[in-house]
Amino acid sequence: MKKKLIAGNWKMNGSLAANASLLQAVLDGSKGMNCQAAVCVPAAYLAQVQTILSGQTLVALGAQDVSAQEVGAFTGEISAGMLNDFSVRYAIVGHSERRQYHAESDATVALKAQRALSAGITPIVCVGETLADREAGKTEEVVKRQLAAVIHTNGHCISEIVVAYEPVWAIGTGRTASPEQAQEVHAVLRAQLKAATSHSDRISILYGGSMNAANAAQLLAQPDIDGGLIGGAALKAPDFLAIMAAGSVSA
């Protein structure tokens, strides 16, 4: 059985001092845990966090986005090749905040995943429905459409991605899909991936809608939930460590 992956998304938070304190506490507290972990940090802190994480293998470095372009006159963009220079292991693509605030389409997200893969970086592909989608009974339609674009663009490489199901209505709201609701959507995504590749067992599907120290164990016990993409709780070492511990138990 593959180990659970617990990935923290710091979003636009952090400072040099706070980062150092947070990461030292996580590294000190996570010794001996039986899970995989990552921190996806703002681009400005990649160099600092790379240095802090060097010399250990439990916590990997992740980025929060990657450009759909390879190189060139794209001011403000950060390419997969640049991320590679900092030994970035994971890159989040298609987070609902990017889709909402930056108008990223399914096609753009698919291309970003392709750019990450071409540089040896594992994309964490986010999919998820809005509250209006869920109330209209369109959850399955929406998440399958979002994932289908990535499958179509990346073909045989699809087994190298990570998928994160993040119901938009549960991100940063304190509302969480019940374990049963989350499992239902994860099972849909698992079936879609199985139809796309014979190596679907390699693909981790994370849950990312306000997972926290209190609900992590129940969510991670579900058969198709392979880990978590953690927002606010990733900024508090005790909470992040508690989720890692829950992932270690259910691994």
Closest CA to 8 of 87, 76, 89: 89
Catalytic residue among 104, 129, 160, 166: 166
Is residue 199 flagged as an active site residue?
A: no
Query: Do the beta carbons of residue 209 and residue 128 sit within 8 Å?
Result: yes
Helix ranges restricted to H, the chain: 16-29, 46-53, 80-85, 96-101, 106-118, 131-135, 139-154, 179-196, 216-220, 237-249
Catalytic residue among 77, 95, 140, 180: 95
Between the alpha carbon of residue 172 and those of residues 11, 48, 95, 102, 140, the distances in Å are 11, 26, 13, 18, 22
Is residue 186 flagged as an active site residue?
A: no
Closest CA to 237 of 3, 37, 34, 1: 37
| Residue tagged 């959850």 (tokens) | 139
Structure tokens at 77: 């963009």
Q: Catalogue the active-site residues.
A: 95, 166
